Structure 1
């Protein structure tokens, strides 16, 4: 734990950014009935009926010291699916970085 905390304490270095990762599964739902619009003194209301449209995984990459984040979507959670997201992160967001330090403490 102390090793991870020491990484978080490093000063920001654009050539060696500290990028944290996380992910969360999310259920995709669609409303069956249209929401009731707002009225004076009443908020917009949603019915409790919904249709399930599957599940997706949302991997998140964020660089806390730069105030930056990006969220991607994928249908499964496998290493084959994970690798293209890492490649995209490195090629698109950190092409000139000498080294990207990934903190994957919860994966």
Structure 2
């Protein structure tokens, strides 16, 4: 994927490059769900599009990110609509959050 060709703000493109550099080119997929939101991106676990980290810059302090962690529906457990949200996190914090949520070995 050519990150510079993605229709996102420079902040999001820079973030994708940094995440790819730290986690690897094959660490996650980009969700098409938020492709029209220029200042946000959804990262999915490879092979599991229901496990998502939605990352955005709007409303955040400079060089900080907001992230919503979305969980898949599980049998016998009502997980529909469960979201864990964090605001104004640093890149280092975001890196840990994404790696843990998407089960990426660093």
On whether the aligned pair clears a TM of 0.5, the verdict is no
Which of 1 and 2 has greater Rg?
Answer: 1
